[in-house]
Amino acid sequence: MPGPTAAAGTPGPSRRVLVTGTSGLLGRAVARLLHARGWSVRSLQRRAVHDPWESVQGSVADPDVAARAAAGVDAVIHLAAKVSFTGEWADFVSTNIVGTRQLLAASRHAGVRDFVFVSSPSVAHFGSSIVGAGAGSADPERARGFYARSKAAAEDLALAEDSPEFRVAAIRPHIVWGPGDTQLVERVVERARAGRLPLLDGGRALIDTTYVDNAAEAIVRGLERMDHAHGQALVVTNGEPRPVGELIAGICRAAGVPEPAFSVPGWLARGAGSVIEKAWLAAGTRGWVRDEPPMTRFLAEQLSTAHWFDQRHTREVLDWAPAISLDEGLALLARHYGN
C-alpha cells in the first residue's frame, strides 16, 4: 500500500500540537515533521534547547508544568519517558506513569481533542517469541522489566481515557534506530569497537525494527487519522524481519567497526543478565556506575527471541507504509558515519 502524499492530513493554520520528549531521536523527528507539515508546535522537555518552535522546560510529572504545556493546544503527542534497561522502579513510575497521568489530566482540563500516546511493543512481550502477531494487550503484571511494566501501565491509563470528546490512540514503534541514535546504534558501535559485542544463539532470532523517519511518519499519521485510530494500540515496524545478527552486522559495517566475532547461548545470557542487572542496580544506588549494564535479562530476551509483527491492520488504519527500507536506512547510517 502506498504511503500518504505530502499534503495528507495538512492542518488548518490554527492547529497547535504539544510534543513531549523532543530531546530524543524520535521526539525530535516527530516535532520536525509536524513543523514541516504546517502545525504550530510546542515542545516539552527537561532541558533548555533552541528550537524553531515554542518550548516549555520541565518535568511532565510536575502538574504545573503539564498544565502550562497543554494550555491552548489542540492535540498532544506524548513521547517523554524514562527509557533504560535498569534503574529504580520509583523513577520509572514518576516519569512514565505519573507523568502520563498528569499530562492526560492537564490535556482534558485544557480542552485538548486528540492525544497520541507513544508506547512500545514491549508492553505485550512476556519473554517468549512473537511471530507475526498483532499488537496484543498491554499487561503491567507480565511485561518484562521496569520500563515495559511502567509503559504498559501508562498505556492502560491513556487508552482508558478515550472517548468521542477526548480521543486517544497508542502507537507502538518497535526498536527505532537511525543516525544519531543513542539507544541502539551508539551502544552497538561502542561495544563492537571494544570487542564486547557477542551474538546470542548465533544471532538467529528474527526481529522487526523501525527506521526513525518511518516511525515519525506513522506517529503523525496516528494524529492525522485519529478518526480511525482512537481507542486502539497499533504496533509500527518497517515490516522487514531480519535475523538480529544480520541487523547488528549491518550497523557495524555502516559505522566501520568490527562485526561480532563470537556467540553465547541465549539461556546463559538470560541467567547472567539477571545477576548483572541486580548487581548494577545495587552499585548504581551507591553512585558507582552511571552507564547501562552490559547485559540484563530483558535485553537477553530481546536478542534471543523472535519478535516480528503483522503490519496489515496498522497500515490500513494509518493509511501508511514505510518510505525508507532497512537497506536504505543502513546506507543513510553509513553516510552519517562517513562510510
Residues annotated as catalytic are: 147
For residue 140, count CB atoms less than 10 angstroms from its CB and return exposed for 0-12, middle for 13-18, buried for 19 or more: middle
As a 3-state breakdown, the chain gives helix, strand, coil percent values, each rounded to 5, of 45, 15, 40
Nearest 10 degrees: CA dihedral of 108, 72, 118, 333?
A: 180
**Cβ(233)–Cβ(135) below 8 Å:** yes
Rounded CA separation 270/301 (Å): 7
Tell whether the torsion through CA atoms of 36, 172, 240 and 243 is positive or negative.
positive
Rounded CA separation 14/151 (Å): 32
What are the angstrom distances between the C-alpha of 111 and each of 54, 107, 222, 281, 332?
A: 19, 6, 19, 41, 41
Q: Cβ atoms within 10 A of the Cβ of 139, count?
A: 16
- For the chain, the straight-line distance linking the first and the last C-alpha, in angstroms and rounded, comes to 32
Which residues, at least 6 apart from 11, have a Cβ–Cβ distance to it below 8 Å? 37, 38, 39
Rounded CA separation 108/67 (Å): 10
Rounded CA separation 339/332 (Å): 10
DSSP state of 260: P
Rounded CA separation 151/158 (Å): 10
